[in-house]
Amino acid sequence: MAFSAIPISKESNHAGDKQIVVGKYSSDGASKGGDIDTTLRVCENMILTRKGSSTAVTGNAVAESFPVAGNAVTIVTNLDEDGLWEAQGF
């Protein structure tokens, strides 16, 4: 299989013109991450939360330097890892 990520909600932040987008990601088989389409023009921050009951050998990570121009943010995960993400930007 492969890596997939989908947004599940988008809201305006009360502190100005920022947007917060929340979604979920899944990496199956030999996949160790991929691009998350945040739907933002510029992503200034991203929080990743791994789901599951097992302990990961290594943590997941954003493989970008912020701010990221464009909507795609690349993340690195463990094999067969599911989780949630939150992106902030505009």
Q: What is the pLDDT of residue 53?
A: 61
At residue 78, does pLDDT exceed 70? Answer: yes
Q: What is the CATH number of the domain that holds 12?
A: 2.60.40.3940
Number of structural domains (the chain) is 1
Which residue, 68, 83, 67, is CA-closest to 3? 83
Higher pLDDT: 17 or 61? It is 61
Structural domain harbouring 22: 3-89
**What CA–CA distance (Å, rounded) separates 14 from 8?**
19
Q: What is the pLDDT of residue 48?
A: 93
pLDDT tens string 68-77: 998 899 999 8
Average model confidence (pLDDT) across the chain: 85
Higher pLDDT: 48 or 16? It is 48
